[in-house]
Chains A and B, each alone.
Chain A
Amino acid sequence: MRSCLLLSALLLVACGDETDKSTDDGSDGTTDLSDDGGDDGSGDDGGDEGSGDDGGDDGSGDDGGDDGSGDDGGSGLEMGESDSYAAMGCDLLDSEPERLVLGISRSEANTAVIVPDDETAFLLEMPETGDGWFTVEVPDWMTVVRLFTQEGVELEIYGGEGFSEVLLNGACPDAGISDQRWAFHEWGAYNIRVAEGAPAEVWFTLVKEE
Chain B
Amino acid sequence: MRAWLGLGLVVSSLTACGPGAATKVTGGDVLVELDLPPHFPDFPYPVPTQAKADLGRLLFQDFRLAGNGTRSCGICHEGKKGYTDGFVKAVGSEGGAHTRNTLSLLNLAWRGPLTWVKPELTDLYDQMEVPLFGEHPVEMGADPDELPARLAAIPLYPPYFRAAYPDDPAPISMANIQDAIVAYETLIIAGDTPYDRFLQGEAEALTSDEAAGMELFFGRLACDACHGGLFLNLPTDGAGEVVSDVPEYVNIGMYNVDGAGGLPPEETGLHAFTGVASDMGRFRVPSLRGVAESGPWGHDGSFNSLEDIVDAYARGGRELVGGPWPGDGATSPHKDPRIAGFALTEAEKGWLVAFLEALTDPEANARPFLQTPFCPDEPDTGDVGCIVVEP
Interface residues, chain A, with chain B CB atoms under 8 Å away: 100-113, 115, 117, 127, 132-133, 135, 137, 139, 186-189, 191
B87 CB within 8 Å of chain A = yes
A102 touches B302 (CB 8 A): no
Task: Chain A residues near B97: list those with CB within 8 A.
Answer: 113, 115, 137
Cβ-defined contact, A191 with B304, below 8 A: yes
**Chain B residues bordering chain A, tally (CB within 8 A):** 24
| Closest chain B CB from A92 CB (angstroms) | 17
Cβ-closest 6 pairs across A and B: A111-B323, A104-B322, A188-B86, A103-B323, A139-B91, A115-B97
Query: Is A108 a contact of B321 with CB atoms below 8 Å?
Result: yes
The CA of A132 and the CA of B324, in the complex, are separated in Å by 12
Docked Cα-Cα span, A44 to B308, in Å, equals 29
B301 interface contact, C-beta 8 A: yes
For B86, the chain A residues whose CB sits under 8 A away are 186-189
- Chain A min CB distance to B380 (Å): 15
* B325 contact set on A, CB distance < 8 A: 111
Q: How far is the CB of A52 from chain B (nearest CB, A)?
A: 20
Smallest Cβ distance from B91 to chain A, in angstroms? 4
Q: Is the CB of A110 within 8 A of B322?
A: no
Please, how many angstroms separate the alpha-carbon atoms of A111 and B96 in the complex? 17
Q: Write out, one digit per residue, whether chain B residues 106-141 have a CB within 8 A of any chain A CB (1) or not (0).
A: 000000000000000000000000000000000000
Additional 20 contacts, C-beta under 8 A, given A104-B323, A189-B301:
A103-B320, A103-B323, A104-B321, A107-B311, A108-B323, A110-B301, A111-B323, A113-B97, A115-B91, A115-B95, A127-B321, A132-B322, A137-B87, A139-B91, A139-B95, A186-B86, A187-B86, A187-B87, A188-B86, A188-B87
Interface string of B289-312 (1 = CB under 8 A from A): 000000010000111110010010
Partner among A112, A188, A189 whose Cβ is within 8 Å of the Cβ of B323:
A112
CA distance A102 to B308 in the complex (A): 17
- Beta-carbon contact of B88 and A102 below 8 Å: no
Closest Cβ of chain B: how far from A21's Cβ, in Å?
A: 14
CB of B302 within 8 A of CB of A111, answer yes
Chain B residues contacting A132 (CB-CB under 8 Å) are: 322
B300: min CB distance to chain A, Å: 8
